[in-house]
Amino acid sequence: MADNMNCFEIDNLSFAYGDKKVIDDFSVQIKKGRVTTIMGPNGSGKSTLLYLMTRELKDYTGSILLDGHDIKEMKGKSFARKAAAVHQYNTVPWDISVRKLVAYGRIPHKNLALGTTTKEDEEAIETALEITGLKELENREVARLSGGQQQRVWIAMALAQETEILFLDEPTTYLDIRYQLDILGLVRDLNEKRGLTVIMVLHDINQALRYSDEVIAMKGGKIHASGCVAETVSEKMIKEVYDVNCKMIEVDNMPYVIT
């Protein structure tokens, strides 16, 4: 039964850029229906781990199973029907509309040369636009929206893929604090109301504490600690992973880290 709780099962994973080992004999399970945050200092391999799970990097040893299937053996489109990803940095043509970009999320479900749009496609696009609050902006050009709105567009595109899993690579990096909270609140909602499994990389420890259920703390390509937030994140762990002295305090029953 325990197997069904996990979406990803990673075993003895190692990966190197040239002769520089970035992920070193890494094993972890990621639970279904939870928000899991990968944290760790720069160069700890957290983005690389994400790229390995999204199949962008393939020359690894060890195994990554998604629902019991080796992701190396899955077809590109069938993987894209299971897991969507919002990347840190994105570019758009200057004249593409919100709706057209969100519609790209349907690509894993169709044949591109013919490019017909079915009723299911339309429904998925509508739903994605509504969840992300972009319905009124659907005909606007993406390039003219604010950074926070653009990030919502990319999330909407991922939602249109109708996957069970959503990857987010530092979704708040280029945003001011208001939009950071806005995006993380949206992610939390997606998890709670739609049961989406979220796997993300975050830099801010406090945001990780507040918006995730599980954390994976990495250091030097190895797993340092993993598990539910309350049990894993501690002053000692932060000292060991980031080499920073900090204090954990509680405000309104929420833990915070002060450095």
Partner 1 sequence: MERRKKKAIGAFAVTGLLLIATILFSINTGSLSISGANIDIIMDLRIPRILISIVGGAGIAVSGVLLQAVMKNPLADPGILGISAGSSLSAILITGLVPSMYFLTPIFSFIGGVVACFLVYTLSWKDGLSAFRIILVGITINTVFVALIDCAESLMGGNNALASFTESRLSMKGWDDFYMLLTYSVVFVVLGVLLASRCDLLALEDRTVGSLGINVTALRIKVSAVAVFLAAICTSVLGTVSFLGLLAPYIGRMLVGSGHKTLIPYSMIAGALLMLLADTTGRTIAAPNEISAAVIMAVIGGPCFIVLLRRASGSYGR
SS3 assignment, position 12: strand
Maximum Cα interatomic distance, the chain, rounded to a whole number of Å: 58
Q: Is 91 in the site for partner 1 (CB under 8 A)?
A: yes
- Contact between 35 and 194 under an 8 Å Cβ cutoff? The reply is no
Among 29, 161, 197, 207, binds partner 1 (CB under 8 A): 161
Comparing CB distances to partner 1, the nearer of 8 and 242 is: 8
Site for partner 1 in 177-216 (CB under 8 A): none
| Chain centre to alpha carbon of residue 58 | 18
Q: Is 67 in the site for partner 1 (CB under 8 A)?
A: no
- Contact between 221 and 21 under an 8 Å Cβ cutoff? The reply is yes
Among 14, 25, 33, 96, binds partner 1 (CB under 8 A): 96
Pairing of strands 6-17, 20-31: antiparallel
Q: Is 84 in the site for partner 1 (CB under 8 A)?
A: yes
> Would you give the binding string for partner 1 spanning residues 103-142, x where CB under 8 A is met?
-xx-xx---xx-x-----------------------x---
- Contact between 106 and 161 under an 8 Å Cβ cutoff? The reply is yes
Comparing CB distances to partner 1, the nearer of 94 and 245 is: 94
Neighbour order of strands in the sheet with 61-66: 20-31, 6-17, 61-66, 69-70
Binding site for partner 1 (CB under 8 A): 54-56, 75-81, 83-85, 87, 89-97, 100, 104-105, 107-108, 112-113, 115, 139, 154, 158, 161, 167
